[in-house]
Structure 1
Amino acid sequence: MNTAQRPTPPNRSRSRNRRSRSPKYATGSTAVFDNLWRSVSEQLPYYRSYPRLVGETGGKDFVLAHASADVDALSTALLRGAFEYQGQKCSAASRAYVPASLWPHVKARLLDDLSALKMGDVRDLSNFIGAVIDKRAYERVNGYIDTARRSGEASIIAGGQCDARKGYFVSPTVIEVLDPRFVTMQEEIFGPVLSVYVYRDEEWPEILKLVDQTSPYGLTGAVFATDRAAITEASAALKFAAGNFYVNDKPTGAVVGQQPFGGARRSGTNDKAGSILNLLRWVSPRAFKETHVPATDYRYPYMKD
């Protein structure tokens, strides 16, 4: 916050104590940013000017495939986008929408690649995936997998194994859901779990609305299609669903300084880190006027008889 504070009010210490007892949240989560925003707003009378808050929180990032999509490119993007860094990226692909005409081929390719994927110590560069960050993350991800396993609206078609004997390992997991609003399609998991909803090809217009409305987040998203009209249609329909929108590529891997990053809705303030937009967020503009021939009479010409 680029603001100077006024002298500390008498009850400031009590406010600090009250905040210190607030729930502990995961760093970078929407809950953390909400808590920061509330804490700052409680102190507004003691700031010289209104604070400016910039934050990027989480996402429920999508991959949407059109019937014209390239199967191999789509399958590769799903695997890389969902399972690189164990899916512990705010931009990780977490929900996918695949047309029925492509799903058998995409599923076969995806399962084949996953069967060859190695998991283990990150010091062995032949391993594609490692352990999740800690026990808390492990238990949270395992909980979502158990929910899918017990549900009649979802089936685990790959992975689903969790092992905490030596490190917190969760195998890359693909869940096929019957309900497009199943919990794993809506909530941020932050782990190696990809949920897939298979739709009828003719449902494309409805699917565009579904993708936009399913999640409160708006960070990243990707559309796969070789039909340019479909790409244009998806770009327009999903303009608020992803601050970083990808065409025929996985929704991760923005390079700082080359691709400004950020999303809106519950994903943050979308101030695009790495761009001039973020810099302008922090400056305070001042308009300057100097009059070289100032008025010396209050009367305007039109006031004369």
Structure 2
Amino acid sequence: MTIADTASAATTTEIAPGRLFIGGRWTEASDGGRTDVVSPATGRKLTDVARGTTADADAAVAAARSAFDSGVWSQLSSRERARILHRAYELMRDRAEELAQVESANVGKPITFARSVDVNNAAELYEYYAALGHHLDADVREITANAHAYVRKEPHGVVVAVTPFNFPLILASTKIAPALIAGNTVVHKPASITPLSALIMADILQQAGVPDGVFNVVTGAGSTLGDHLVSHPSVDKVAFTGSTEVGAHAAALAAQSLTPFTAELGGNAANILFADVDLDAAMQAVISAFVFNSGQFCMAGPRLLVERPIYDMVLEILGNALPHVPFGDISDPETVIGPLASRAQLEKVAGMVDRARAAGARVITGGHPVDLNGGFYYAPTVLADLDPATEIVVEETFGPVLTVQPFDTEEEAIALANDTRYGLASGIQTADLARAHRVSTRLEAGITWVNGWGTLDPAISFGGVKSSGWGREGGPEAMASYLRSHSIVIHLGQDGSR
């Protein structure tokens, strides 16, 4: 189905109501409150979940603290923890279609991407960290004193994982898998509008053999639960993904108790397109960089910088291609672009585009919501002739919107790419390998893709610089943030005896 053909409608998946998962038991909120979960594809209710209270958050932290202090998880060998996480990986594979259907329905993801990207990548994170868990050995150090010294890697304790609405399953897994294999216990607070896959994962981890209290899920509003959890005195580490503004607020709360805090925040990445490139291949990367997940990707490429000789040609290609990208029904395996995750997100994107148009931006294609079955759809949009100071160039849109700016020299391209408070991702499309190396080292970003976009793997770390956060997710770099070093020095007698 293309933008011009939006007759078919997204199906609604039947999903059971959700409860909190605390101390190995499913429970209602302490005050009985519940919250509707809405389908982005239809605007209608999918199900409802428990609306947790601060008392529920306290209970979850207490369960995690008790489980950690008991040693039921932290004192297991890393190999035994790895076996349990590998069982979780196998259960995720067994329940892959269920996870994909729920993630698609809850987030508004096209089902093909929910299966091939979200579920696949999330499962592989558990597999990867299970394997990495076999290598959590102490590091013996040679020192000049008459002593034996070694450095142990030990878990922090209770970890709070706060995750956003755009990739609930993947971004939870980037935190939960390394936190658990390191021996921590976890309280997970998923985004209030996309909590459903977190509840399935609680069931999977329990079935895999994770002891009671080691993993807990509390659903509800971030403004109450999130704030309460990140500032909780019994929490030993916070891992956060979300907007820069909310992340800064959460970091300030955690800082009051000096709680270690890692954050993957907003982005506004530039994708630099040089004139020497193979345009057919490059345009696939350009388009996927801003329409993937309907543009709701912190590492999207919403700013396209084009070398001037091919600027007009690129605009023409984009204008002709975008209306034919399969759009609409998330249950259709051919669909590439689905709805935005909420009405609020749709209104935000529409408002930013409208203000850009009023400021003089030229709309090459799109620029309007799409009325489809009550869902929160916005047409993929390309804007040109923008002042670099325009809001939609400067700030993260988080929707299927591409701004296109020309440049004349390599130095100008680098300056434009780095002219942002964000630094999460970047891209270069060029046939010149020397240029690719030269430019990539000067881009202020946690990850740079050359002649492609968006390739991620559990072994590859990602994260931000500047206002895009600190710390890394993925790879052994993420594992390090869930462990703390403990140096042990054993003094020996003069004859070498202890």
Q: TM-score range by the shorter chain?
A: 0.7 to 0.9
Residue 466 (structure 2) pairs with residue 270 (structure 1): no
The runs of at least 4 consecutive aligned structure 1 residues that moved more than 4 Å come to 19-23
Residue 452 (structure 2) pairs with residue 249 (structure 1): yes
The residue that corresponds to 2:43 in the other structure is none
The structure 1 residue matched to 2:388, chosen from 172, 180, 202, is: 180
Residue 485 (structure 2) pairs with residue 285 (structure 1): yes
Provide, for residues 104-141 of structure 1, a one-character-per-residue CA deviation record: whole Å limited to 9, x for no partner: 33223222221312321101122221111111001100
The residue that corresponds to 1:14 in the other structure is none
Provide, for residues 185-211 of structure 1, a one-character-per-residue CA deviation record: whole Å limited to 9, x for no partner: 1100100101010122xx221221221
Shift in Å, 1:75: 1.3
Shift in Å, 1:97: 0.3
The structure 1 residue matched to 2:406, chosen from 187, 198, 209, is: 198
**Pairs within 5 Å for 1:10-89:** 20=224, 28-42=242-256, 44=257, 50-89=258-297
CA contact (8 A) 2:269 2:417 kept: no
The residue that corresponds to 2:109 in the other structure is none
In 2, Cα distance between the equivalents of 1:292 and 1:128?
66
More helix by share: 2
Residue 292 (structure 2) pairs with residue 92 (structure 1): no
The residue that corresponds to 2:439 in the other structure is 234
In 2, Cα distance between the equivalents of 1:218 and 1:179?
21
The residue that corresponds to 2:156 in the other structure is 2
Provide, for residues 71-101 of structure 1, a one-character-per-residue CA deviation record: whole Å limited to 9, x for no partner: 1122111111111211011111110100111
Gap regions ≥5 residues in structure 1: 5-18, 45-49, 296-305
Provide, for residues 23-53 of structure 1, a one-character-per-residue CA deviation record: whole Å limited to 9, x for no partner: 9xxx7111221111111223x2xxxxx4211
Residue 367 (structure 2) pairs with residue 160 (structure 1): yes
In 1, Cα distance between the equivalents of 2:275 and 2:252?
45
**Pairs within 5 Å for 1:72-151:** 72-151=280-359
SS at match of 1:293: coil
Provide, for residues 209-260 of structure 1, a one-character-per-residue CA deviation record: whole Å limited to 9, x for no partner: 2211x2111111100111123212211221xx2111101112x2412x1322
CA contact (8 A) 1:3 1:51 kept: no
In 2, Cα distance between the equivalents of 1:109 and 1:258?
35
The residue that corresponds to 1:47 in the other structure is none
In 2, Cα distance between the equivalents of 1:197 and 1:150?
18
CA contact (8 A) 1:97 1:199 kept: yes
TM-score (norm 1): 0.79
Aligned-pair Cα RMSD in Å:
2.4
Q: Count matched residues.
A: 264
In 2, Cα distance between the equivalents of 1:197 and 1:287?
52
Shift in Å, 1:284: 2.2
More strand by share: 2
The residue that corresponds to 1:207 in the other structure is 413
SS at match of 1:34: helix
Provide, for residues 148-193 of structure 1, a one-character-per-residue CA deviation record: whole Å limited to 9, x for no partner: 21112x2111111213562111100001134233221110010010
**Percent sequence identity over aligned pairs:** 27
One-letter code aligned to 1:291:
H
- Distance change in 2, residues 1:2/1:291 (3 Å): closer
CA contact (8 A) 1:76 1:110 kept: no
SS at match of 1:97: strand
Give the greater-gyration-radius structure (CA). 1
In 2, Cα distance between the equivalents of 1:144 and 1:74?
27
